[in-house]
């Protein structure tokens, strides 16, 4: 069975740096587990790794989609599985790094998500739920989900329209609760490493990262996306972009939009932690505070590789 390292955790906690360090030490290649880094031209707001930061380590599933393409957990699972096999065939170590919980879990737990042909066939179901959402609001969708699948409604917040629509779509298609969709056997031996730190420290890092993104040109990058029709594009839903659209439309000040980016990023970090803590068997480390070190992680990795 192929061995694969997976590095998870909230935004701005150091996943990218750790993945590159381990790849250099263990002869690995990095597979991005991020739902937004797949989009070309969106570099700053997605905190995309730069060529200099890669330090010669090959990276995969970055810059593979145009901003009008719909990316999905099913597409990620299929592509990541391909790269795992390719990397192992070359006797190197696959290292997945990212914070998109559903994407990561779809791979590690081999969730049955369907494929792109299924997605195309279900377009009419999804479109109908999207129309209902637009007419009735998220609260109506959440109430319908609560009636059909209470367990799923407890895990999907009212504000996450995309996941509400997806859950209702799957229920209608399969006739089974979304929370009880079948899982398959694991296809690889995954070692899950999680990074985290004290909440206020993490929130300070997130705020500082947003400020750095703004100084690097985030507003200009978001404006480009807005001009491409970002309000209706799949890529336009990403944190760091949609908050600035109100500013471009004259409905918000720039300062308020940037504050909203920080707030949404902090809320997202909290949701990421909840997902990984509740759903996945993660070994947690705190590199930010110095409570743990990369050497501690390396010892765990080396022991796991020998088994």
Task: Check whether 121 is labelled as a binding-site residue.
Answer: no
Q: Is 9 annotated as a binding residue?
A: yes
Say if residue 174 carries a ligand binding annotation: no
Number of alpha carbons in the 13 Å side-chain half-sphere of residue 149: 24
Q: Is 13 annotated among the ligand-binding residues?
A: yes
Beta bridge partners of 199: none
Q: What is the 3-state secondary structure (H, E, C) of the chain?
A: CEEEEEEECCCCCCHHHHHHHHHHHHCEEEEECCCCCCECCCCCCCCCCCHHHHCCCCEECCCCECCCCCCCHHHHHHHHHHHHHHHHHCCCEEEEECCCHHHHHHHHCCECCCCHHHHHHCHHHHHHHHHHHHHHCHHHHHHHHHHHCHHHHHHCCCCCHHHHHHHHHHHHHHCCCHHHCCECCCCEEEEEEEECCCHHHHHHHHHHHHHHHHHHCHHHHHHHHHHCCHHHCHHHHCCCCHHHHHHHCCCCCHHHHHHHHHHHHHHHHHHHHHHHHHHCCCEEECCCCCCCCHHHHHHHHHHHHHC
Residue 11 is assigned to a ligand binding site: yes
Phi/psi at 127 (nearest 5 deg)?
A: -60, -40
How far is residue 291 from each of residues 101, 167, 175, 294, 296, measured CA to CA in Å? 25, 39, 48, 10, 10
Q: Hey, what are 136's tokens?
A: 């009735």
Does residue 290 have a known ligand-binding role? Answer: no
Q: Is 12 annotated as a binding residue?
A: yes
Positions at the binding site: 9-16
Positions at the binding site for ATP: 9-16
Positions at the binding site for substrate: 11-16
């Amino acid at each position: 069975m192929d061995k694969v390292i997976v590095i998870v955790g909230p935004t701005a906690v150091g996943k990218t740096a750790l993945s590159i360090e381990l790849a250099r030490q263990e002869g690995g290649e990095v597979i991005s587990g991020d739902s937004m880094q797949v989009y070309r031209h969106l570099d700053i707001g997605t905190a995309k790794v730069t060529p200099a930061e890669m330090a010669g380590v090959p990276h995969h599933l970055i810059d593979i989609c145009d901003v009008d393409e719909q990316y999905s957990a099913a597409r990620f699972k299929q592509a990541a599985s391909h790269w795992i096999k390719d990397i192992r065939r070359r006797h190197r170590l696959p290292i997945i790094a990212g914070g998109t919980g559903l994407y990561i879990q779809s791979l590690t737990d081999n969730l049955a998500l369907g494929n792109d042909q299924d997605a195309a066939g279900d377009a009419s179901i999804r479109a109908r739920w999207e129309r209902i959402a637009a007419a009735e609001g998220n609260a109506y969708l959440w109430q319908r989900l609560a009636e059909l699948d209470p367990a799923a409604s407890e895990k999907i917040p009212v504000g996450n329209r995309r996941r509400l629509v997806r859950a209702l779509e799957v229920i209608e298609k399969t006739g089974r609760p979304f929370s009880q969709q079948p899982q398959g056997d694991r296809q690889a031996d995954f070692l899950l490493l999680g990074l985290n730190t004290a909440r206020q420290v993490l929130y300070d890092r997130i705020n500082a990262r947003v400020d750095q993104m703004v100084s690097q040109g985030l507003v200009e990058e978001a404006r480009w996306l807005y001009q491409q029709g970002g309000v209706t594009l799949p890529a336009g839903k990403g944190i760091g972009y949609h908050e600035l659209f109100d500013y471009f439309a004259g409905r918000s000040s720039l300062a308020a939009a940037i504050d909203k980016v920080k707030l949404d990023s902090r809320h997202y970090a909290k949701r990421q932690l909840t997902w990984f803590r509740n759903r996945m068997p993660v070994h947690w480390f705190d590199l930010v505070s110095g409570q743990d070190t990369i050497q501690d992680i390396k010892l765990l990795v080396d022991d796991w590789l020998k088994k």
